Structure 1
Amino acid sequence: MKKIALSALVVATLFTSSTYAENPAATKTAPRTTKAAGTVYKLQPQLSTLGWDAKAVTHGHNGTLQFSDGQLVVKGNQLIGGTATVDMKTLKATDITDAENNGKFMGHMNSDDFFSIAKYPTATFKITSVTPIKGAAANANNATITGDLTIKGKTNPVTFPAKVGVKNGVAAASGTATIDRTKYDIKYGSKSFFEGIGDKAIYDEFTLNFNVIAKQ
């Protein structure tokens, strides 16, 4: 069996191509506000996407996860905060087409070597700051997002560029975050902790690409 490349969340969340829902239906209830006077937009799991991509020395794997809940907080037409919850039980490897090999891979991903999904069924991301990127092109990343990513009960700060925007009652955020898995006690196959594993090593960093859509 091939050595297994890392996946996962979270995310930051968090988040590759951006899109806004066109002509969204207007809500009949008044928007909720936060203590910072921001309007809360509810994350739409059915419209949002989260993908992962991980590599080892000789191969790599990729797949998907699903958001289960979350929100984006908007002040005026600017994103100022938010949270996202990822259902780790939805973790899939989409590049492994053989059913038997896929089953073995996902069993390892669910185990304590990787995400301990039975013990930690969710991962979360909480935005702590959103900094506009001055002079950003219309179709480029226009903000730097920093937040706290929690995987396997361990929380670490992550920062990544993203494209964010608010239009017609829809808030959107998309981008790619690079995550160091070893900070979340996922050390299997890491050269940083196991010497002499050569081309069997799995790289410490993996990426999460996200496209989050939220509505009032």
Structure 2
Amino acid sequence: MKTPYVILVIFILLSAKQTIAQKSTADSVRSTAPQPFVYRLDVKNSKLFWKAKKINGGHNGYVLFRSGEIKTLSPGKYESGDFNIHMNSIVAVDKLLPKENREVEGVVKANNFFAVALYPMARMRVHTIVPTGKLNQYKVTG
């Protein structure tokens, strides 16, 4: 009997670049609402850390992003976000031997878990973003 895992997203390491969402000139003339800021994820320097728990232990590792952004109406007050994740990039790091980590990766990529062959990309829509107190690190739920 296989023990079910509970996947917990711990936090996202963000190295964001701020850009301003563009609106047409006509929209900006008609609307007095503030234009949103868009923070784009630096995918080359970002990882999604994960932790899986079971009754007698667990595993942890990271997965890489394809893209991501966070929108806010004022700097520091996050409104929403959207991230695309490369599921084939799942890496386990909790075992001492690389072979054991590859076995864990095989289990979570298999069809009875994430079915990575069928679903190579995952999308995460962000509902809450809370700073962890560490530079460029946030706890994100979605």
TM-score, scaled to structure 1: 0.48
Structure 1 runs (4+) greater than 6 angstroms displaced: 18-21
By relative contact order (CA 8 Å, sep 6+), the higher-ranking structure is 1
Per residue, is there more helix in 1 or in 2? Answer: 2
User: Could you report, residue by residue, the CA deviation over 1:83-139 in whole angstroms, capped at 9, with x for unpaired residues?
Assistant: 1111111101101232333333222211111100011111111235xxxxxxxxxxx
Q: Tell me how many residue pairs correspond in the alignment.
A: 128
RMSD after superposition:
3.5
- Structure 1 equivalent of residue 104 of structure 2: 105
Match of 1:66 among 34, 56, 64: 64
TM-score, scaled to structure 2: 0.69
Unaligned runs of 5+ in 1: 129-144, 146-160, 165-171, 180-216
> Residue 4 of structure 1: CA displacement?
6.7
Q: Are 1:92 and 2:91 matched, yes or no?
A: yes
1:119 aligned counterpart, secondary structure: coil
Q: Is the 8 A contact 1:7 1:52 kept in 2?
A: no
- Structure 1 equivalent of residue 41 of structure 2: 43
Per residue, is there more strand in 1 or in 2? Answer: 2
Q: What is the alpha-carbon distance in structure 1 between the residues aligned to residue 97 and residue 69 of structure 2? A: 36
> Residue 5 of structure 1: CA displacement?
6.7
Q: What is the alpha-carbon distance in structure 2 between the residues aligned to residue 91 and residue 8 of structure 1? A: 13
- Structure 1 equivalent of residue 130 of structure 2: 162
Q: What is the alpha-carbon distance in structure 1 between the residues aligned to residue 103 and residue 11 of structure 2? A: 28
- Structure 1 equivalent of residue 20 of structure 2: 31
Q: What is the alpha-carbon distance in structure 1 between the residues aligned to residue 121 and residue 74 of structure 2? A: 31
2:45 aligned counterpart, secondary structure: coil
Q: How does 1:82-161 map to 2 (within 5 A)?
A: 82-128=81-127, 145=128
> Residue 56 of structure 1: CA displacement?
1.5
